[in-house]
Structure 1
Amino acid sequence: MFKMTSEARTMKVYNFQADTKEYIGESDAYIAPYTGLPVYCTEVAPGKEVDGYKLVFNGETWLKLADHRGTPIYDIQTGIRREVEELGELPDGVTTKEPKTTFDEWNGTDWVKNEARERQQQIQDATVLKRELTRKVSEQIEILSFAVNEGIATDDEEKKLKNMQIYRYKLNNVDVSQAPSILWPEP
């Protein structure tokens, strides 16, 4: 432990970063009489550096903390990716294994695709698409129907109306439970 003295001296000190307290090297420090050590250093030797770890001073001794900073990790509940930002072991509830699909679920050791969830999403997507296609064609049918009913439609417009009505009928008969293998009708 450092002891203040009445004499000036030069001594070896071990420097660390202000924010993370990580070891950054040693140097010789001039210590004036009745003063302490410069900030962010200690006279306690850090020991040997080890790959994958950083030496961190805790105020009394040096700790070897795992350095996973920058490593992608995935939340085992959501699969959401983020990067490790702090020194230390990986937090609970994450893995370094990347999920392969948005339907993967963590089984305790690996990601496993939830086929039922994927299937449910495919049916939901098909339902939304069917509704949107039907809405768009219905808008066009409404406009052309007015023209036909008022006797102002051209022959091409009457033909187009009939084709759109057939298309809407075919859309109505699409079985969304067959997603993703649906053969969608052409307009």
Structure 2
Amino acid sequence: MTIEFDKNGYALSSGYMSVHRSDPETKRWLGAHNEFMSVGTGLAPNSYLDGPKGDSGDSYAWCRDSDDADWCRVEDHCGKTAYGKATRAKMEITELGPIPDTHTLLAPISPFDSWNEQAQIWEPDSTAEQQAKLKAAKTEQSTRLANANQQIAILKPAVDGGYAKPEHKQLLADWQRCRYELTLVPEQLGWPAEPQWPAEPEKVI
């Protein structure tokens, strides 16, 4: 049924008709609905007699334009995950529109990738990867050295004082040897990517 409206936008008759709606905030087209229109009433806010023409296409949505005069295609990446070009941090896209220039939909392959803006791709950053491995190896070495120092600090006074258990004399020597070998680990060919740590002796505590 076709219902005509006067120049002020009020229905000249009553009946059901197809009305297109848009989201009040995003202006996204919500579809067409059959609504009952009473004579002398007008369309509800964000309701229109005309609808979008055709399919919006992939990654696009129909929205009402800024003048509220027609429908236009707007980029729609809502629900997708974008990645910061500088930080590689994830961000879920929740708003209509183009992807921010600071982000990309391409996921980095590793935590050490850097973004090539000209080529529009992620590239491996071997320097950053090497620095991360070196930092991790040094942290592990410091932890192991601190543990060795703790065991030696417990055993040495007893051995020097002559009141240590017989087996603790050898244990002190084992820990001192372990501590020395820990200082040599950076000289290995596999440092810092694949360090081979010396076996730790039995702990006193």
Shorter chain as normaliser: what TM range? 0.7 to 0.9
CA distance in 1, matches of 2:61, 2:51: 14
Question: Which stretch has the larger CA shift, 62-71 or 6-15?
Answer: 6-15
Structure 1 segments unaligned to the other structure (5+ residues): none
Q: CA deviation at 1:163?
A: 0.1
Runs of 5+ unmatched residues, structure 2: 201-205
Q: Given that residues 6 and 33 in structure 1 are in contact (C-alpha distance below 8 angstroms), is that contact kept between their aligned partners in structure 2?
A: yes
| Structure 2 residue 13 is the aligned partner of structure 1 residue 4 | no
Name 1:36's counterpart in structure 2. Answer: 42
Do the aligned partners of residues 120 and 5 (structure 1) sit closer, same or farther apart at CA in structure 2, a change above 3 Å counting?
Answer: closer
Deviation at 1:72, TM superposition (A): 1.8
Given residue 44 of structure 1, which amino acid in structure 2 is its aligned partner? D
After alignment, is 174-183 or 113-122 more displaced? 174-183
Paired residue for 1:101, among 110, 119, 132? 110
Q: Counterpart of 1:77 in 2: which secondary structure?
A: coil
Greater mean alpha carbon deviation, residues 67-76 or residues 8-17: 8-17
Cα deviation for residue 112 of structure 1 reads 1.0
Query: In the alignment, is the contact (CA less than 8 A) between 1:13 and 1:44 conserved in 2?
Result: yes
Alpha-carbon distance between aligned partners in 1 of 2:11 and 2:197, rounded to the nearest angstrom: 91
* Paired AA for residue 163 in structure 1: D
Q: Is the 8 A contact 2:11 2:42 kept in 1?
A: no
TM-score, reference length from structure 2: 0.81
Partner of 2:27: 21
Quote the Cα distance in structure 1 between the aligned partners of 2:82 and 2:123. Answer: 17
Specify the code of the residue in structure 2 equivalent to 1:179.
P
* Match status 1:78 vs 2:87: yes
Superposed CA RMSD in Å reads 2.3
User: What is residue 145 of structure 2 aligned with on the other side?
Assistant: 134
Aligned 8 A contact 2:116 2:123 in 1: yes
Q: How does 1:109-128 map to 2 (within 5 A)?
A: 109-128=120-139
Q: Which moved more, 1:12-21 or 1:1-10?
A: 1-10
Contact 2:20–2:51 (CA under 8 A) maintained in structure 1: yes
Q: Distance in 2 between matches of 1:71 and 1:84?
A: 6
CA distance in 1, matches of 2:197, 2:71: 67
Measure the CA separation in 2 of the matches of 1:21 and 1:7.
28
Secondary structure of 2:185's aligned partner: coil
Superimposed CA distance per residue, residues 108-165 of structure 1 (whole angstroms, 9 cap, x where no aligned partner): 2211111111112211211111111101110111011122123221111111111000
Q: What is the identity, as a one-letter code, of the residue corresponding to 1:182?
A: P
Aligned length: 187
Query: 4+ residue runs of structure 1 moved beyond 4 angstroms?
Result: none
- Give TM-score scaled by structure 1 length: 0.88
